[in-house]
Amino acid sequence: MNNKLITVLKSRKFWAAVIGVAVAIVGERAGIDAEQLTAGIIIIVTYILGTALEDGLSNNRKSQYDR
């Protein structure tokens, strides 16, 4: 359990998601226009998906070499 928590706290995807939620909650109160807020959230989601794809492809290559 402790090892999983440390792994999550080191995750780029986790911190991007935390920032995305914070921006979504505080965005309009901080004076960010709705269009800018939407664009920011799209960028964060794209970053998370790109990082997940990178991690998945990296793990796939490692498993191919282990065979």
The full set of domain ranges for the chain reads 2-66
pTM of the entire predicted model: 0.73
Q: What angle do CA 43, 22, 8 make, to 5 degrees?
A: 80
Please report the pLDDT score of residue 2 as a whole number: 80
* Tens-binned pLDDT, residue by residue, of the chain (67 aa): 688 989 889 998 999 999 999 988 998 888 999 999 999 999 999 999 999 999 888 877 666 666 5
Measured CA to CA, the distance from residue 26 to residue 33 in angstroms comes to 12
CB 40 within 8 A of CB 24: no
Please report the pLDDT score of residue 57 as a whole number: 85
